[in-house]
Each structure stands twice: as C-alpha cells, then as structure tokens.
Chains A and B, each alone.
Chain A
Amino acid sequence: MKRTQAEVPKLVLGITSLALPVRTTRDRQLEVSARFRESESLAVMMVKGVAAGAEAVLAPPIADVRNALAELNKDLPVLARVPHLSPVDDLRYEPALMFDPADDEDDSVWSANRAGAAAMNLLPVGLAGDLASKVLPRLEREVAVFTPGALRGVVISSAVTDLALAADQAKFVDRLVRYARSRRWLVGFETRNLGHILARLTRWGVAPDFVMGALNPRGVGMMPDAGTVLAAVRESGVKVIATELRAGGMVALDEGATWARRHGAWGVCPELVDMDDVPKELKGLAIRPAA
C-alpha cells in the first residue's frame, strides 16, 4: 500500500523535556522526570495523550522513549526530534555535531564511518561536505528507534536548524525537505529564533512543512523580539507550531495556546512540563477551534 504524507498536526504532545533543559523551574523539571521515570507510566501517558486529541508526539530518540513505546502493542504517531544532541556534549571543546555517537559504540572496529571521517581529514578545508551530509546519516540511524508505522515525520532539532540559519544555509533546509518528502515524512524545523528563520525561509524560497518555535503572550523566547516574530508569522506563509506556550510558567496553558492560535499559529505543542493532567489538558486544547 502506498503511504501518503501525513497532515501537519495541530496539536502535538512534546516530551523532549524528559531529556533536555526547558524553560521551566528546576523543581518542575525534576518532578516531571521523576513522574515518568518508569517506562510504563510514560507509555500510558502517551497513549492517553493521543486518545485525548494529540495528533503526534514530539519525541527525542532516547532509551526512555524507546522503552516506553516498546511497552505498547500499537504504534503512536511520532514526530522524531533529531538529531539528538545531549546536554553533556558541552563537556567537549569541539562542536557536538562533529562527532557521531555511532563512532563510540564499538571501539574495537575500525568502522567504515570512521574510515570516512579519517579520509575527510586528509582533504583540504575547501572540499568539506555540507551540513546535510553530516546530519542525514545520524538522522537515519536515530529515527530507527521508532517503528516505520509510527513515524509521521522528523523535526530537525534547534541546535542544527539554528546553525544552518546563522550560516545562511538554504541548501541544508532544501536537502532535508527533499529527503523527508522522498520518504513521505513530514519535515519540520525546531528553532529558538523563530522570527529570524521565518524571514530567512521567505528569502530562501524554501518551504518546510512547518517550523516550531516560541509563541506566547509574554514574548518569552520570541527572537529577535515579539513584534518581529508576530509579523513574520503573519507574512511568511509557513505553518508554525507554537511552543513555549506557558511563557516559562507565567500564563495558563489554554491561555497561551489560544493566544498563539489567534496570532497565526497553525498548531500548538505543549510540553510535559506545561501540564499536570496531560490527557485532560490536551483534551481541552483539542476541542478549541482555531480562531
């Protein structure tokens, strides 16, 4: 059966706060990670979240998520947030993306991957590859955490998106979009610089399925500033899935989501740390029609 590309979801359950620092209080992040430490509890929460109206789960390819999904006897719709860069990468002097974790998996084998990296070091700087060729093998491997039936698409993590943005790499976005579409995946780009990237996408003439970035009534995380972001959302024509809906805890989730939708967001992505009762609060967001 030929697979058709999924629709861009309007309600996404974000579970990246299980593994990454997010804009909330330390106590809240610790509380949430403790609550979902057991894979069964994470699995149950995801199932209930989807039943309550989440059209996809934004998930990093980490062991906790893999174990939780393995508890289930059915596929949940997943947007894989890749590549996954761990916070502990900041212990290295080198940029995290320079290294592929696969290189460390078997120290006894001189893998083809390493041989390729060594060969690259013999080339002049001018013959460096492009960012997509660095990211795609890692992306391929990381999405394998999810079953093909579950995978609705990929969301390129902000560390990579924003690197491409700063380096003005239209080609990177274009290659990722073509790659994902050849697999009938949705492709979105997570960013911490929503206003910057929407302006750049317009100039580049490249259109991913969506971008994900901060959009909330207090302007928290809206870069370069709230006014620029709102204008860019209005004018770019790119679908935006709003994150940081609670503005770091300053507004209620439904208030933030309503505001984001009213200001042009195609969809919303509440994070685990934003919700006390995940199914109930997702249900509340699912039944609200877009303004």
Chain B
Amino acid sequence: MTPISNSMAESREQHPPEPGTRDRILIAGLGRTGLDYACAFALHPGAEVAGFVEARSDLRRFARTAGFAAPAEPTLSRWLEKRPADTLVVCAPAAEAAEMVEKGVNAGLAILVHGLAAMPREAVDRIEKAMSLCDRPVAAGSAVLFQATFARARRTGALSPHGLEQVRASASVSRVFSTNAARGRDVVDFLLTDLLLLLDASFGPMTHVRARGQSLYGDGLDECQVEAKFAVGLSAKVEASWSVPGYPGAAMVIEGSGPQGRVIVSDDALEMDLASLQGRVVAASEPSFARSEGGEAPAVVEGWLRALSGDAVSAEALSVTRALRVARVVDAARQSISADGVECEVLS
C-alpha cells in the first residue's frame, strides 16, 4: 500500500483527479454484487471502471444492456493481455474467485475480494496463499463493517472486550419464504457470517465454537445457534435466522453486559449505559461515509479508496486477516452443526 498524507487526501476530496489518474477498476464477476460495485465506482470521482471479466455471456450481455460500455472479457488473462488496470475487484462465485485472485496477484494488481468470509474452505485457503504473495494492497470487502452504529461502537470502545462479561448477538431476516431460497444459500453464509465479522471486529478472534442448526423448510440451514469463545476469554451466544417474518432487510443486534454496565448495538441505534460512556446514538445521525447509495458496495468502495490514501480505519474495516479468520469460524461452526453441537476448535 502506498500511503499518502491526510492533506493530500483532503485535496483529492475537493479536487477529484482527472480521468487517467483515477484508480482503474477491473471488476471480475458481473452478478448483482459486481454490478453494485460497478455503479459505486462509476459514481466515485476517485475511480473509473476500466472493464469487466465474466465467464457467462448472459451476464456480460446484461451489463452491456444496462449501459456499461467498458470492455468485458470472458477471462482475466484475455482482458489483461489487451489493457492495463490498477485494482481487481473480485465478486465472482467462490469457485471462480480463487483463480481470479491468483491471476490478479500474478499480474501485479491490487485486490479487493467481496464476501471472502462466507467462502468455502478450499477457496479461502487458495486466496490466503495467493494474497500472501501479493506486494500490492489487498482487502476483503463487507458492507457490514462500515455500518454506522456498529462502526461507532467499535471506534468509541463501547463494543470491546473490556468490562463486558456476557455477549449475546442475533441476526434476523425474512428470506426462507422466497422461492429463491433454495438456490444453494443458507442462513450461515447469507447472515451468520456478517454477524461473526462484527463480533470479530469488536472482540477479536474466536477460538472455539459449539453450534446447532435447523432446516425448517428445505435442505439448507434456516436457523442456527452458536456459542463462541474468544481468545480474550469472553464468550458469546449467537443466533441467526432467515425465517423471521416482517424483516425485508437484515437486522443485527449485539448486546453486551458486565461490571462496566450494558451496551446494545443494532442497525438502528447504539445505546450505552457504561461507566465510561452513556447515551444513545441513532444510525441516521451518523455522518454519511459513502458518496453514493445503492446495494452493498458504496461504503466498501469509499473505504477502499480511503485505505489507498492511507486511512487506517478504513483499511482495518477491510482486513483480509479478519475475513480469513471468520471464514475458519464459519467452517468450524458448520463442522459443529454436523457433529450435533460438539465443540470445535477454530483453525488458525
């Protein structure tokens, strides 16, 4: 990463760079999330969408239909043979993502991977290995780590292991009732992973998990309960369900209590009744972080560009190390569910 000073970052904010000096973004994977990234980068003055890589012709065609004129190729190799880029944003399915990352690292590109923590073990191992060889900036994108109230709770220390003894966390959404629900997703990768990212960001690495899961409407897991132990000695009870009626958007809550008092953080608000911190902050009162809205990408895009400019807070929210850790927690939780709730160690 090449840090630049804060004053330069401010100047960049006020005077967007001319085309040609912007970060040239190559987006691999033109699914819903890939298009979200394309939109967010296209609306950002610090970047330009240089092109797309997508193996499926129907998805390349749809991006063209939507109006994106940047060149699209079926393979990364073919794209890079013809044109330069600065950053590869990988939004492809896990099965393709590892190969994209490997090729991107070999080509000397900076790499931003979306959804790394929810990927299966084989893909995660390959991506970890490839990124360890990368001498350019690397990041793992997840919108939940930029959510305003949780970010403030971490920044102020309200959500930290100090002074808390009991932690409960839950995530709810209405999805299982959809006909789309059987498309290879389950509550673990769709919902639980984001909650585990928030917990890791707040309390540090988890070392052991004990988990149970229920399939209520099909073969996939619809609900799960996890008891997680953290390296700092704290433990947390975690629940995730995508079968809660009336929740079109995901709702997450983390509640902690101990000798220092009590804190509740949700997407709606941060409520602190701690010895050192008191008060209530609603999400809407937090200043906007991104320069556009829509989908999962705008905050991650802003964070990425700020991280490139030397912003340590943004870089921390995009930590690859954390995403890899959480991927292993998810793996351990799945093992525990399969073993009927036996405690499983999280591999480091």
Contact = CB atoms under 8 A, between A and B. Distances in A.
Q: Determine if chain A interacts with chain B.
A: yes
24 contacts: A26-B266, A30-B246, A88-B177, A88-B181, A91-B175, A91-B180, A91-B183, A91-B185, A93-B31, A94-B59, A104-B179, A120-B61, A130-B67, A134-B65, A166-B39, A192-B293, A193-B293, A193-B294, A223-B288, A248-B284, A248-B285, A249-B284, A250-B282, A250-B285
Contacts of A104: 179
A93 B32 contact: yes
B284 A220 contact: yes
Contacts of A225: 288, 291
Interface stretch (A5-13, A49-57, A121-129, A234-242): A121-129
A172 interface: yes
Contacts of B310: none
A125 B64 contact: yes
B293 A221 contact: yes
A95 B32 contact: yes
A158 B39 CA distance: 12
Contact of B35 (A86, A163, A165, A247): A163
A169 interface: yes
A87 interface: yes
B47 to A, nearest CB: 12
A51 to B, nearest CB: 29
Contact of A223 (B66, B72, B247, B291): B291
A126 B64 contact: yes
Interface of B: 31-32, 35, 38-40, 42-43, 57-62, 64-69, 72, 93, 174-175, 177-181, 183, 185, 190, 246-249, 251, 266-269, 282-285, 288, 290-294
Contact of A130 (B65, B251, B290): B65
Interface of A: 19-21, 23, 25-27, 29-30, 33-34, 86-98, 104, 120-121, 123, 125-126, 128-131, 133-134, 158-159, 162-169, 171-172, 192-193, 196, 218-225, 247-250
Dominant secondary structure of chain A at its interface with chain B: helix
Contacts of B284: 23, 218, 220, 247-250
Contact of A20 (B248, B269, B293): B248
Contacts of A128: 61-62, 64-65
Given A87-B248, A125-B57, A250-B285, A95 B31 contact: yes
Contacts of A163: 35, 39, 66-67
A26 B64 contact: no
A25 B269 contact: yes
B180 A89 contact: yes
A104 B175 CA distance: 18
Contact of A121 (B38, B57, B183, B283): B57
Given A29-B246, A163-B66, A221-B288, 8 more contacts: A88-B180, A95-B31, A121-B61, A128-B64, A163-B39, A167-B68, A224-B291, A248-B282
Given A19-B248, A166-B42, A192-B294, A92 B61 contact: no
B32 A94 contact: yes
A231 to B, nearest CB: 15
A178 to B, nearest CB: 17
A193 B292 contact: yes
Contacts of A193: 43, 292-294
Contacts of A165: 39, 43
